[in-house]
A and B are shown apart, each in its own frame.
Chain A
Amino acid sequence: MTAPLLEIHGLSRRYGQLRALSDVSCTVRDGEILGLIGPNGSGKSTLFQCVAGVLPADAGTVLHQGSSLAPEHRKDVLFYLPDGARPWPDERVSWTLRFMEGVFGDPTGRRDRAIAALALEPLLDARLDTLSKGQLRRVLLALALVTPQPILLLDEPFDGLDLRQVRDVMDVLRAEARAGRTLFLSIHQLGDAARVCDRLVLLSGGKVVGEGTLDELRARAGVQQGALEEVFLALT
């Protein structure tokens, strides 16, 4: 049996007296869309930051294909797109995408595909600080899609998008997964998570309270036919 693509073991993180993550463990399988769900303040962003190595964990390890992955090497295999970032406000969309393409060295036309998939053509000459929240979200997703890492950690990828855009972005993400990329998404809208994710990790109070497919979680929660909301409420 092959090792999971990414294994997270016992990650813990405190902010002073506040325990943001407590012994968090979960696995990310190759080519899947894994959803990280939980209420506000449950530690989703902290977990992503620790896994990406941009925030030090107090304890815990991350394994890549069975081998320990030091924080400074995590960027070699995964790219984390933070929530709430408004990068380089004075730059234009086209320049920002070109920069990411140039700095990561993209010979395969990922930038053009991202522009087409996320319908960014009309925004290319706009400065980032003139974009609406939804427009900026699509541009940030495009930045992530331009990167070459096999695993993407996207923090709230649907935040700020309208219904149609959410559906379109889900299609884009599914296509990305089909193309061989593994996606780990932090989503606070449970309905969205249920629609796009293959498996789910439920986080509450900095602890994992469940991991698996919706059916597995239903079984664990003892809910026969309920939606993810009911499963989540039963487990937390």
Chain B
Amino acid sequence: MRSPDRAWLLRKELHELTASRAFWLLLLATGALVAHAFSDSLEVYAQASGAGGGAAALAQGLNPLDGIIVPTLGAYDLVATLLLPFVVIRLFAIEKQTGALPIVLQLPGRFSDVIVAKAIALLIGWMAAGMAGALAIVVWRAGGGHVHAAELWTVALGHLLRGFLTIGIGAAAAAISASAASAAILALAFTIGTWAVDYIAAGRGGVFARFAEYTPEAALRVFERGELRAGTVTVLLLLGFAGLVAATIWMREGVAVPRRARAALIALLVLGIAAAGADQWRWSHDTSEDRRNSFAAGDERVLRAIRQPLTVTAYLAAEDPRLADLERGVLAKLRRTMPDVRVVYAASERSEIFAAPGNHYGEVWYELGGRREMLRSTTEPIVLEVIYKLAGVPAPAASDAPAYPGYPLATTVPGAGLPFFAAWFIIVCVAWWLIRRPRSRRPAAS
């Protein structure tokens, strides 16, 4: 039989998506959440910039990425967690619920084409929801706010991938479950499970911490820091793809259950191995305007030239704030910069915070070229000084690059808040009516 016109499959799924009330309610709720987050962050940003008449924060500390973009677009994390799964499940489960799955299974071509069409339609829907965030940024810019395009796109990409992951999870849940309600429970259980992994990782470190780097919340934080990390992007894509593959395999009800289970396990195993491999992919680009994920250019040049492996052994428990400082301020940057960095978390038990002196707790050892040095400080310049000493290279001259200026904005943006939401509400309702408006002809009696 001929291959199907895939455009028809996509058109059908877009039709189904826009026919769903859940989708339009998601758009409305997204508008409300983005409007609330945007208004709040605007108010705080204006006050920090001195709008309230009080002392303003240092200009360098006023960063639109942290002050406006991340909190405003943060509404999408909530939407992706609590609302999007229902829209996804509805689109993937509709044929099972209505008894139409046998018809869909008999459409020409591969069944995976149907699943891909559903995923693309949902991504388009997710991007349509993203227009509320775009509208907020336009309002911010119109009011004189500053936007660094690269870091804005990085955060937007993070939310797009977050949505893709939710699509994968929802697809798998809808395929496995007998009803949409069961699928919703399954998707919610998965989300709560990732929260549990986050929670455990925060206290235990080790394998859990490694695993927890790819929970939706943790992965999103990478993008929200203005870092474009190849490993994170790839793992999120693979996880979302794994959900779609599982759905493709499981919804082919003409195949016996043991065969489907075997195929799903093999596919998930292969994708799991690929994800583990992608985790090792260290390429990363710092898109933040204030270069928060990078050392100074001179330091990076010197560090890149050090070819010997650097081993860092940290005797700090996972929930110790000093380890968080070290991780964010030094280790993450070292991993991005030096060709060979190995970090050993030697104190993974929380009880070691309270251990007796003499067990090395609080020490961080740096080993390079057979030489070792211990530090208790987690401050970047001190650590770099030790690394240069161990490597036997001179420290670079202090950078004369201009410091991040900061972008205070002491005035509130007119048109934000309620009018913003009203505009979004009207746009969504008009679009809803245009797409689903009743036709003039009515069905004749049977």
Contact = CB atoms under 8 A, between A and B. Distances in A.
| Of A75, A86, A92, A123, most B-chain CB atoms within 10 Å | A75
B12 A99 contact: yes
B365 to A, nearest CB: 59
A133 B445 CA distance: 11
A87 B103 contact: yes
A122 B443 CA distance: 6
Contacts of A135: 443, 446
Interface string B104-116: 0111100000000
Interface in A56-78: 56, 71-72, 75-76
A82 B99 contact: yes
B103 A103 contact: no
Nearest to A72: B254
Contacts of A76: 1
B5 A103 contact: yes
Nearest to A124: B441
A53 interface: yes
Given A102-B5, A105-B5, A125-B441, A52 B106 contact: yes
A75 B98 contact: no
Contacts of B102: 49, 52, 54, 80, 82, 85
A19 B390 CA distance: 76
A103 B100 contact: no
Contacts of B107: 75, 103-104
Contacts of A108: none
A134 interface: yes
Interface in A104-146: 104-105, 122-126, 130-135, 143
Interface stretch (B14-22, B25-33, B237-245, B266-274): B14-22
Interface in A130-174: 130-135, 143, 148-149, 162, 165
B69 to A, nearest CB: 36
Interface string B251-285: 00111110000000000000000000000000000
A92 B439 contact: yes
| Most chain A Cβ neighbours within 10 Å, of B99, B254, B256, B441 | B254
B95 A87 contact: yes
B401 interface: no
Contact of B100 (A55, A87, A165): A87
A80 B101 CA distance: 11
Nearest to A149: B1
Interface string A42-53: 000000010011
A103 B16 contact: no
A100 to B, nearest CB: 9
B2 interface: yes
B11 interface: yes
B351 interface: no
A41 B234 CA distance: 50
B341 to A, nearest CB: 49
B94 interface: yes
Contacts of A86: 98-100
B100 A88 contact: yes
Main SS at interface, chain B: loop
B255 A56 contact: yes
B444 interface: yes
B405 interface: no
Interface string A198-220: 00000000000000000000000
A105 B3 CA distance: 9
A103 B8 CA distance: 6
B27 to A, nearest CB: 16
Interface residues of A, number: 45
Contacts of B255: 56, 71
A222 interface: no
Contact of A54 (B4, B8, B106, B436): B106
Given A87-B103, A90-B20, A122 B441 contact: yes
B371 interface: no
A49 B255 CA distance: 12
B338 to A, nearest CB: 52
Nearest to A90: B19
A89 B436 CA distance: 13
A122 B98 CA distance: 24
Contacts of A104: 4, 107-108
Contact of A95 (B4, B15, B443): B15
A169 B11 CA distance: 31
Contacts of B257: 56
Contacts of B8: 99, 102-103
B359 interface: no
Contact of B98 (A87, A126, A162): A87
A103 B98 contact: no
A229 interface: no
B440 interface: yes
Given A85-B98, A89-B98, A123 B443 contact: yes
A99 B255 CA distance: 26
B252 to A, nearest CB: 9
Nearest to B1: A76
Contact of B99 (A72, A84, A124, A132): A84
Ranked nearest first, the 3 interchain pairs of A and B with the lowest CB-CB distance are A87-B100, A90-B19, A126-B443
Interface of A: 49, 52-56, 71-72, 75-76, 79-82, 84-92, 95, 99, 102-105, 122-126, 130-135, 143, 148-149, 162, 165
29 contacts: A53-B105, A54-B105, A55-B254, A56-B255, A56-B257, A71-B254, A72-B254, A75-B105, A82-B99, A82-B100, A82-B102, A85-B99, A88-B12, A88-B94, A90-B19, A99-B8, A99-B11, A103-B8, A103-B107, A104-B107, A122-B444, A123-B444, A131-B446, A132-B446, A133-B446, A134-B446, A148-B1, A149-B1, A165-B446
Interface of B: 1-2, 4-5, 8-9, 11-12, 15-16, 19-20, 94-95, 98-103, 105-108, 253-257, 436, 439-446
Given A52-B102, A84-B99, A125-B440, 16 more contacts: A54-B254, A56-B253, A56-B255, A75-B105, A75-B106, A85-B99, A85-B100, A91-B15, A91-B19, A92-B439, A99-B15, A103-B9, A125-B439, A126-B442, A131-B443, A132-B446
